[in-house]
Structure 1
Amino acid sequence: MRREVGNRHPVAASARTRLVRNGDISLAVYEFGPADGIPVVLVHGWPDTHHLWDGVVPLLSDRYRVISYDTRGYGQSSAPTQVSAYELNRLATDFFAVVEAVSPTEPVHVVAHDWGSVQVWEAVCEPGADQYVASFTSISGPNLDHLAIWMRRGVRSGTPRGIRGALSQCLSSAYTTFFMLPVLPGLFFRLVGTEKMWKLFLRVVEGTSPDQISLAPTLKQDMISGLRFYRANIIARMVAPRERRTTVPVQLLVNTRDIAVRPAGYDDTAEWADQVVRHDLLRGHWLPYSDPAAIAGYADAFIQAKSE
């Protein structure tokens, strides 16, 4: 890679918008805060868009240049129909394209959630990634290779703790089997993929008030398009995980009530990253909605520590 050098808060000042190209993919990018501030890139997951960060942006954009974008398949960005277009290596190139466009001479700090974190994990494990990324705060999105290796070790250990951990993660990930089925999940989300139903789901499962949740008008098509992330990557990574390391400093915000990823799944992260800081939070999966102040606080402290 080349390198030449609480309640939902209102979103800070209107975004500066642009489109970033990565080959035939167009990515909608939104910038907030001072143009000369330290760059911080926010990356969302399923089924969200850059609006996931509406509560976080105003808490960071008073001192940082905050950049969010709709990843491919979501919002105002391109949504190719081929499943192969959503393989992690391709998503990583989108991320690097955004970084090159918004900060061509300075590494960025990254905060990512869910599939946003999964794809940034892919990126930061590439050779030379530390030229692009100064720090990475990961929320509810593991490196799939690392997770698969951890689960295999748990089963092979023969210990009750190891086997229990792997089985617990399998149960938490059971929904992905449905997501990878042909036809049926698409029909399901065409019927129930409404703002009202999604906010009800988050309230029942996580106790999140509807006024804390920011959704794009493209929610239904994003839910359906985003299924390709699961189909393109889950089986491939579980069957043939790779040993992937990073020199980028990593901060883990581990939500102990996460319905999708069990906290123990991050226990081996220090094996794969040179620098790891971990914070366990008594929260559910969608931390950007339920507690944006926690994200802003931990991210700010980590960024400051890595900027000294």
Structure 2
Amino acid sequence: MAFIPIRFRIDTGTLRLEASAWGDPAQPVVVLVHGYPDNRHVWQAVAQELAARFHVIAYDVRGAGASDAPPNVADYRLERLADDFIAVIDAVSPNRPVHLVGHDWGSIQGWEFVTDPRLYGRIASFTSCSGPSLDYAAQSLRQGGRRQKGQWTATLRQALASWYIVFFHIPKLPEWHWRLWLGRHWPTWLRMTEGLHTAANPTQTADGVQGLRLYRANFRARLRAPRDRRPHAPIQVIVPTRDRYVRPALTEDLGLWVAQLWRRQIDAHHWLPLAQPQRMAAMVGEFVDHIGGAPASPALERARVTSEAAKIS
């Protein structure tokens, strides 16, 4: 059965966000947050899979798709993105906690949401894919003096994989790259690097250019001053082992901070929502069901992490 998405807009008080909804509003709510340089349409196939059992919401993050794009870099700080998420769930699920799913920058945002005291009790679970907590990643790097040789090798690999972050901080050059070449050839890039065949996105150049503000507003600030914040919801981390942008080692230390943690490694590249939507939807559904009281699947049983944070708490 195909579900026709319902488009609607959310007024946050400072800007408007474009959103889509699938499925029965009476069912548990799953909110999907996209990454860079995507918009909400990256979730189309995943949402179709989930909509049979859940009320699914996907929205264009500020600066992407049909949502408003504030001009200032400071407007893209994680705190402002959390304001947007609060406006979204106030509109679609004011009286029930939601299940949050994030990919890439949507996942980076998700770590902000799930540690924001304002959202305590509003998030029932968080599934993170290919997007680390900037605070935990920075704290992990600061613990370098206690690292073994193998851990240093993994850190070096992640640094090499993150070359594009340095490039994105160069004034004007990344913008011109998007306008002159990458915006038109993004499907070619995905085909060459991920083996994906995707349709052209009419807002791709704008999504790429405006989304650069996410990096410039947050990376240096969090690396300089990471915060010690703990999640207030159970977390499932999906780790594609062939991710060329976020290496698996970046999530290996999460048990230091996350008390309720499931970490699932899968043989996949970075753009899991596009490459394997059925599989991603199945993992989200299994986790949501388990948090709701269903027995854990064998895969979830194997993925459960005995964390240091749980021992402390």
Shared fold, TM over 0.5: yes
> Aligned AA for 1:194?
G
> Aligned AA for 2:291?
K
Q: Does 1:221 align with 2:206?
A: yes
Q: Does 1:126 align with 2:116?
A: yes
Give aligned pairs, total. 293
Which whole-Å deviations, capped at 9, do the CAs of 1:93-138 have from their partners, x for residues lacking one?
1111101110000000011100011011101101253411100000
Alignment-derived partner of residue 109 in structure 1: 99
Shift of 1:64: 0.7
Equivalent-residue separation in structure 1 for 2:24 and 2:67 (angstroms): 24
Q: RMSD of aligned C-alpha atoms? A: 1.4
Alignment-derived partner of residue 173 in structure 1: 162
2:26 aligns with one of 36, 52, 71: 36
1:101–1:162 distance in 2 versus 1, CA, 3 Å: same
> Aligned AA for 1:276?
L
The answer to whether the Cα contact below 8 Å between 1:248 and 1:273 also exists between their aligned partners in 2 is no
The answer to whether the Cα contact below 8 Å between 2:183 and 2:208 also exists between their aligned partners in 1 is no
Alignment-derived partner of residue 161 in structure 1: 150
Alignment-derived partner of residue 188 in structure 1: 177
Alignment-derived partner of residue 8 in structure 1: none
Which whole-Å deviations, capped at 9, do the CAs of 1:40-95 have from their partners, x for residues lacking one?
00000101111101111111101110000000000111101100000011101111
Q: Which consecutive unaligned segments of at least 5 residues does structure 2 have?
A: 294-313
Equivalent-residue separation in structure 2 for 1:12 and 1:254 (angstroms): 29
> Aligned AA for 1:157?
R
Alignment-derived partner of residue 262 in structure 1: 247
The answer to whether the Cα contact below 8 Å between 2:103 and 2:131 also exists between their aligned partners in 1 is yes
Alignment-derived partner of residue 76 in structure 1: 66
Q: Does 1:204 align with 2:192?
A: yes
Shift of 1:159: 2.8
Alignment-derived partner of residue 308 in structure 2: none
Q: Please state whether the residue corresponding to 2:117 is helix, strand or coil.
A: coil
Alignment-derived partner of residue 139 in structure 1: 129
Alignment-derived partner of residue 6 in structure 1: none
Higher normalized contact order (CA 8 Å, seq sep 6+, divided by chain length) = 1
> Aligned AA for 2:263?
R
1:302–1:215 distance in 2 versus 1, CA, 3 Å: farther
Q: Please state whether the residue corresponding to 1:135 is helix, strand or coil.
A: strand
Which whole-Å deviations, capped at 9, do the CAs of 1:122-177 have from their partners, x for residues lacking one?
01101253411100000001100101111222x32253123212211111111111
Equivalent-residue separation in structure 1 for 2:210 and 2:173 (angstroms): 13
The answer to whether the Cα contact below 8 Å between 1:12 and 1:57 also exists between their aligned partners in 2 is no
Shift of 1:193: 2.9
Q: Please state whether the residue corresponding to 1:76 is helix, strand or coil.
A: coil
> Aligned AA for 1:20?
I
Quick one: percent identity of the two aligned structures? 42
Q: Does 1:280 align with 2:265?
A: yes
Shift of 1:185: 0.5
Alignment-derived partner of residue 232 in structure 1: 217
Alignment-derived partner of residue 296 in structure 1: 281
1:263–1:144 distance in 2 versus 1, CA, 3 Å: same
1:88–1:22 distance in 2 versus 1, CA, 3 Å: same
Alignment-derived partner of residue 306 in structure 2: none
Q: Answer with 174-183 or 15-24: which moved more.
A: 15-24
Q: Please state whether the residue corresponding to 1:177 is helix, strand or coil.
A: helix
TM-score (norm. length: structure 2): 0.90
The answer to whether the Cα contact below 8 Å between 1:12 and 1:61 also exists between their aligned partners in 2 is no
